[in-house]
C-alpha cells in the first residue's frame, strides 16, 4: 500500500512538471506568433519536438503495432487542427483565456457522449454542464467583451480537444508512445502546407526560441506518459488545471496581462464543473466494470 502511494505521488509530481513544461511551450509559442504566421510557428515547434520522439523510438526494440489505424490518424489530425485553433487564439487572446475555454472540453464530452454515443447523462452531470457553460459566459462576458476570431478559434480548440478525448476512449488499447508520435505527425500535416505558403526565414534567436518550445513540448508529452504509468489517469487528469496558474503568471510577466476578477470566477466554475465531470466519468466506468 505504501509502495502504491509513493508511486502515485511520483506520478503526480511528474504530471505537475509536465504541465509546467507544456504551459511554457505554449508561452514561447505565443511569443513567436507575434512575429510569424501560426502555420510556421507550429511547424518550427514540431520540427524540434520530433527530437525527443525520435529518441524514444530509438530506444524501443519492438515497434508497436497499430490496431486501429483510422482512429490513430483521426487522433493525430484532431491534435493538428486543435493546435492550429489554439495557436491562432494565443496570437490575439491572453493565454489564460484560451486555456480556460479549452479546458471546458470534458464538459463538452458529456454532451457529445449523450448526442452521438447515446450515453445516459444523469441530472448531476447535466448540472455540471450548465455550471461549466455559465463559467464560460462569466469569463468571456458576452455583451461586454467584444467576441473576436480569437474566441472562435479557442472554442474550435475546445471542440477538437473534446473529439480527441472521445477518440482516445475508442483507441485506449493503442500504444501510448505511438499516439504521441501520431499527434506530432498530425501537427506537421496540418501546419506544413501553410508554412510553405506564407512562412518566412526566421531570425537565429527565434530559431532558438522555437527549438526551446519544441523540445519542452515533446518532453512534456513523454513525461505525462511516464506519470500515467505510475498513477491512474483519473488522478493525473486534474493536474492539467495547474497550467492555468502558469498561464496567469506568464501573462503578467511576459505579456503584461492583468489578472481579472471575472476571469478568476469564471475559470473556477469551469474547473469545478470539469473536475466533477471527470469524477462522475470515473464512477460510471467503475460501475460498468462491475456489471
Residues 6+ apart with CB under 8 A from 46: 184, 187, 188, 191, 214
Contact of 65 with 176, CB cutoff 8 Å: no
Contact 131, 273 (CB under 8 A): yes
Average pLDDT, the chain: 83
For residue 61, pLDDT over 60 is answered with no
Cell match 493503442: residue? 174
Q: Which of 230, 238, 217, 222 is nearest to 281 (CA)?
A: 238
Alpha carbon distance 204, 263 (integer Å): 37
pLDDT value at residue 30 = 95
Residue 11 has pLDDT above 90, yes or no: no
Percent of the chain clearing pLDDT 70 (strictly above): 87
Which SS3 state, helix, strand or coil, does residue 173 take? coil
pLDDT at 262: 82
Quote the CA–CA distance of 274 and 31 in Å, as a whole number.
Answer: 29
- 500515467: which residue's cell? 228
- H helices of 173-203, in order, are 176-198
pLDDT at 159 over 60: yes
- pLDDT tens, position by position, 63-91: 667 778 888 889 889 999 999 999 999 99
In the chain, where the domains are located: 2-290
Does the structure show a pLDDT above 70 at 257? Answer: yes
pLDDT digits (tens, 9 = 90+) for 178-226: 888 888 899 999 999 999 999 999 999 999 999 999 999 989 988 888 8
Amino acid at each position: 500500500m505504501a509502495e502504491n502511494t509513493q508511486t502515485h505521488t511520483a506520478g503526480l509530481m511528474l504530471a505537475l512538471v509536465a504541465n509546467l513544461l507544456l504551459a511554457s511551450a505554449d508561452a514561447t509559442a505565443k511569443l513567436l506568433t507575434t512575429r510569424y504566421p501560426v502555420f510556421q510557428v507550429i511547424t518550427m515547434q514540431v520540427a524540434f519536438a520530433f527530437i525527443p520522439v525520435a529518441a524514444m523510438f530509438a530506444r524501443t526494440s519492438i515497434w508497436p503495432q497499430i490496431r486501429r489505424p483510422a482512429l490513430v490518424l483521426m487522433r493525430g489530425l484532431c491534435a493538428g487542427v486543435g493546435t492550429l485553433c489554439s495557436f491562432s487564439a494565443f496570437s490575439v487572446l491572453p493565454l489564460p483565456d484560451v486555456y480556460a475555454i479549452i479546458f471546458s472540453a470534458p464538459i463538452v464530452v458529456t454532451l457529445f457522449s449523450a448526442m452521438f454515443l447515446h450515453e445516459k447523462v444523469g441530472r448531476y452531470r447535466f448540472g455540471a454542464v450548465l455550471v461549466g457553460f455559465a463559467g464560460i459566459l462569466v469569463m468571456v462576458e458576452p455583451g461586454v467583451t467584444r467576441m473576436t476570431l480569437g474566441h472562435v478559434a479557442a472554442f474550435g480548440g475546445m471542440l477538437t480537444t473534446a473529439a480527441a478525448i472521445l477518440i482516445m476512449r475508442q483507441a485506449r488499447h493503442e500504444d501510448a508512445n505511438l499516439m504521441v508520435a501520431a499527434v506530432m505527425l498530425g501537427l506537421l500535416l496540418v501546419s506544413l502546407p501553410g508554412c510553405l505558403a506564407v512562412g518566412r526565414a526566421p531570425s537565429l534567436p527565434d530559431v532558438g526560441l522555437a527549438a526551446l518550445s519544441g523540445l519542452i513540448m515533446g518532453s512534456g508529452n513523454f513525461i505525462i506518459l511516464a506519470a500515467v504509468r505510475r498513477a491512474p489517469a483519473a488522478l493525473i487528469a486534474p493536474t492539467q488545471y495547474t497550467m492555468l496558474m502558469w498561464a496567469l503568471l506568464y501573462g503578467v510577466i511576459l505579456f503584461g496581462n492583468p489578472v481579472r476578477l471575472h476571469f478568476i470566477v469564471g475559470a473556477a466554475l469551469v474547473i469545478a464543473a470539469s473536475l466533477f465531470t471527470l469524477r462522475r466519468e470515473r464512477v460510471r466506468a467503475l460501475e460498468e466494470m462491475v456489471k
